[in-house]
Amino acid sequence: MKIKTKLNAGVGLLFLMIIILSALGGWFIYQLKKDTQNILVANYNTLQYSRNMLLSLEEIERDPFSVKEFQKNLNLQSQNITESGEREATRNIISHFSDLNKNRHDANLKSVIRKDIAELMQLNMNAIQIKSGIANTTAENAIAVISVAGTLCFLIAFTLMINLPSNIANPIRELTFSIHQIAQQNYRERVRFEGNSEFGELAKSFNTMAEKLQEYSESRLDKILKGKKRIETLIDNMHDAVIGIDENRKVLFVNDQALKITGLKKDHFIGKLIQDVAVGNDLVRDLIREIIDPLISKKADSELLKIFVEGKENYFEKEILDINVLPTGEDDKRFIGQVIMLRNVTPFKELDLAKTHFLGTVSHEFKTPISSIQMGVQLLENERIGNLNDEQQKLVLGIKDDTIRLLKITGELLNLTQLETGVVELNIKPAEIKTMVESVIAANQSAADFKNISIKSEIDPNLKFINADFEKTSWVLSNILSNAIRYSYENSNIEICVKNDQNQIQFSVKDQGYGIEEQYLDKVFTRYFRIPGTKADGTGLGLSISKEFIEAQGGKISVKSEIGVGSIFYFSLKA
C-alpha cells in the first residue's frame, strides 16, 4: 500500500472513530435527558397536584376557596394522565369529589378521596421507580457501549501510533544507512523494501544507482590493475635495474635486472626495509649509501659502478629519484618514496674505451711524423741549406704554424687518453716557479708577438718552489696563456701573476680579451665545449684537461670574466 494511502486511511479511521464516539455519547445523553424529563412531566406534576388536592381537602369545610383550588388541581391532573390505572384513579377522585361537594362535612367521603389521591400518588411513585430503573439501564448501557467503543478506538489508535511512524521511519533509516555505505565506496550495498509503496520505487532507483556505481568502480579498478600490470611488466623488462621504496624506505617493487645484479630473490626485497636488505648485500649497501647519508650524494653520483653480471664486467650509472606527488586538492607536494635506478652503460663504456684507444694510437702514431715535419721545416728555414724565395718562405711559415697546431692537438689528445684510461702519472717534486713561468712565456712568445701582445709576469719574491708535477703544471699554464693570446685583441696586455693565497700558491693569467659570458663560465671546463661563435682553432679540450691535471694534484682551477673587459683564469696548488 502506498504511504499516502496508509496515512489517509489511518487519519481517516481516527476521524471516523472520533465521530462515532461523539455520536454515541450524544445519543446516550439525549436518552438520559428524555428519561428524566419523562419523570418530571408525567409523574412529578401529578404528585404536586395530589399534594395540593390533599391540602385543599383539609380546608374544604372552612374555606370555600379550597374547593376551587381542589377543582383546579383536579382539572390539571385530568389533563396529565400518563400511567395505566391513572385514568380510573382520577375518575374516582372526580366522582367522589362531586359527592363531597354536595355534603362538605362528610368525613367518610373525605377519607375515600384521600385514599383515591394516595392511590394516584402510589401509581406515579411506582412509575417514577420504573422510569428511574430505565434511566439507570440507559446510563449503564451508555457506559458499556462508550467503554467498548473507547477501548476499540484506543486499540486502533495505539496500533496506528506504533505502526504508522515505524512504517515511514524504518525505510528512511535503512535508506540512510545504505547511503552512508555508498559514501564509503561500498557499492555492493542494496536496499530491500517490500510492497509497492513509494519506498519500493525509491529502493528500485537506489539499487539501480548502486549497481551502476559498482559497475563503474569495477571497470575503473580493472583499468587501474591493468595499468599497474603494464607498468610492472615494463619495469621488469628494462635493462636497467630498478628498485622502488616508499617514504619509510620499505621496498615496494624490484625488477628482474635488479634481482640478477644483486643475486637476491624477490622475497628478500618486497616489504622489507632497504637498510635491512643492505645488511646482507654489499651492492645494495653501496646503492643506498646516499639515501642513508645524504652528505655523500654528489660524489657518488658521478661514479660508475663496475659490477660483474653473468661473468661479464658491466658498468652502471646510479640515479636516485625522489618521488613527490601533489595530492588532489592540496597545494604542497608530498614525498612518497624513491626510485633507485642503475642504468646499464656498458655498451657506451665499451665504445668510449674503443674511442680512447683509437685516439691514443692515432695521436701517438701522428706525433713522430709531425715532429719530423717540424724538424724538416726548421731545416728548410736554415739559410745554410739554401735560400728560399718569398713565396717559399710564406709556405714554410704556414706549414710551421700547422705543425705547431697539429702537435698541440695530438698532445691534448694524448693527455685526454691518459686521463680517460686513468693512467695519469704524476711526478710531483719541488719545481722552480720562475723557470716554469719563463719557459711557458718563451713557448708562447712568438704567438704573442704575432698579435703584438705584451706578456708581463709578476712573481712573489718569497715564492721560489712549488711542490708539483712540473711538466703538467707548465702544460696547464701554457694552455691558459695560449688561450689568453688567442682570445685577445691585438696590441693588448697579458699579466701572469704568482702569489701566496691562504697557504696555497695561486697562478693567474689576466687578459684584455673578448671575455666570457656568465652563462658559459661553468661550462668552459667541460670536454669539447667551445663558446658558440668562437672562431680561433681549437678542440675544446685544453681547459678540461687542465682542470683534471690541477685537481689530480689536489688544486683548484677557476675563472672570472667580463664581456669586453677580459678574463682571469686562476689555479692554485699546495705551496
Shortest distance (Å) from residue 435 CB to ligand ADP: 24
Residue 543 lies near ligand ADP (rule: CB under 6 A): yes
| Cell numbers linked to 452 | 703584438
Judged by CB under 6 A, the stretch of 184-192, 230-238, 348-356, 526-534 that binds ligand ADP is: 526-534
Residue 540 lies near ligand ADP (rule: CB under 6 A): yes
Residue 530 lies near ligand ADP (rule: CB under 6 A): yes
CA 422 to chain centre: 52
Among 70, 193, 199, 514, binds ligand ADP (CB under 6 A): 514
What are the CA-CA distances from residue 406 to residues 19, 56, 295, 373 (Å)?
127, 178, 44, 11
Residue 524 lies near ligand ADP (rule: CB under 6 A): yes
Q: How many CA atoms lie within 13 A of 221 on its CB side?
A: 8
Residue 416 lies near ligand ADP (rule: CB under 6 A): no
State the Cα–Cα distance between residues 43 and 261, nearest whole angstrom. 129
Judged by CB under 6 A, the stretch of 141-149, 315-323, 334-342, 527-535 that binds ligand ADP is: 527-535
**Residue found by looking up cell 525505510 in the block:** 171
Nearest to 443 by CA among 410, 393, 480, 488: 480
Toward ligand ADP, which CB reaches closer, 360 or 542? 542
Residue 483 lies near ligand ADP (rule: CB under 6 A): yes
330, 312 Cβ separation under 8 angstroms? no
- List CB contacts of 176: < 8 A, sequence separation 6 or more: none
Query: How many other CB atoms sit within 10 Å of the CB of residue 545?
Result: 25
Shortest distance (Å) from residue 354 CB to ligand ADP: 24
275, 269 Cβ separation under 8 angstroms? no
Residue 531 lies near ligand ADP (rule: CB under 6 A): yes
Among 89, 476, 516, 550, binds ligand ADP (CB under 6 A): 516
Among 511, 549, 553, 557, binds ligand ADP (CB under 6 A): 511
Helix (H, G, I), strand (E, B) or coil at 526: coil
Task: Give the alpha-carbon dihedral of 19, 22, 24, 29, to 10 degrees.
Answer: -160
Shortest distance (Å) from residue 328 CB to ligand ADP: 49
Judged by CB under 6 A, the stretch of 81-89, 122-130, 358-366, 541-549 that binds ligand ADP is: 541-549
Judged by CB under 6 A, the stretch of 207-215, 309-317, 343-351, 539-547 that binds ligand ADP is: 539-547
What are the CA-CA distances from residue 132 to residues 119, 295, 490, 511 (Å)?
20, 117, 153, 146
Nearest to 512 by CA among 530, 495, 528: 495
Shortest distance (Å) from residue 255 CB to ligand ADP: 41
Toward ligand ADP, which CB reaches closer, 343 or 547? 547
100, 116 Cβ separation under 8 angstroms? no
Judged by CB under 6 A, the stretch of 169-177, 209-217, 226-234, 534-542 that binds ligand ADP is: 534-542
Toward ligand ADP, which CB reaches closer, 23 or 563? 563
Q: Residues touching ligand ADP: how many (CB under 6 A)?
A: 21
Amino acid at 336: I
Toward ligand ADP, which CB reaches closer, 374 or 539? 539
Toward ligand ADP, which CB reaches closer, 272 or 530? 530
Note the helical H segments in 103-197.
107-183
Residue nearest to ligand ADP (CB): 538
Shortest distance (Å) from residue 507 CB to ligand ADP: 14
| Cell numbers linked to 64 | 370555600
Residue 420 lies near ligand ADP (rule: CB under 6 A): no
State the Cα–Cα distance between residues 380 and 384, nearest whole angstrom. 9
Residue 171 lies near ligand ADP (rule: CB under 6 A): no
Among 31, 78, 539, 558, binds ligand ADP (CB under 6 A): 539
Residue 558 lies near ligand ADP (rule: CB under 6 A): no
Residue 542 lies near ligand ADP (rule: CB under 6 A): yes
Residue 534 lies near ligand ADP (rule: CB under 6 A): yes
- List CB contacts of 414: < 8 A, sequence separation 6 or more: 360, 363, 364, 367
498, 433 Cβ separation under 8 angstroms? yes
Query: How many other CB atoms sit within 10 Å of the CB of residue 70?
Result: 24
State the Cα–Cα distance between residues 234 and 227, nearest whole angstrom. 10
Toward ligand ADP, which CB reaches closer, 74 or 494? 494
Toward ligand ADP, which CB reaches closer, 197 or 479? 479
Among 100, 153, 377, 484, binds ligand ADP (CB under 6 A): 484
Toward ligand ADP, which CB reaches closer, 56 or 417? 417
Toward ligand ADP, which CB reaches closer, 459 or 494? 494
Task: Give the alpha-carbon dihedral of 16, 22, 24, 27, to 10 degrees.
Answer: -140
State the Cα–Cα distance between residues 372 and 400, nearest whole angstrom. 12
| Cell numbers linked to 329 | 586538492
Toward ligand ADP, which CB reaches closer, 469 or 511? 511
Query: How many other CB atoms sit within 10 Å of the CB of residue 206?
Result: 19
568, 521 Cβ separation under 8 angstroms? no
**Residue by residue, what is the 3-state secondary structure of 297-349?**
HHHHHHCEEEEEECCEEEEEEEEEEEEEECCCCCCCCEEEEEEEEEEECHHHH
Among 197, 444, 506, 567, binds ligand ADP (CB under 6 A): 567
Toward ligand ADP, which CB reaches closer, 8 or 454? 454
Judged by CB under 6 A, the stretch of 101-109, 450-458, 469-477, 478-486 that binds ligand ADP is: 478-486
Q: Provide the β-strand partners of residue 67.
A: none
Toward ligand ADP, which CB reaches closer, 244 or 513? 513
Which residues of the chain form contacts with ligand ADP (CB under 6 A)?
479, 483-484, 487, 511, 513-514, 516, 524, 529-531, 534, 538-544, 567
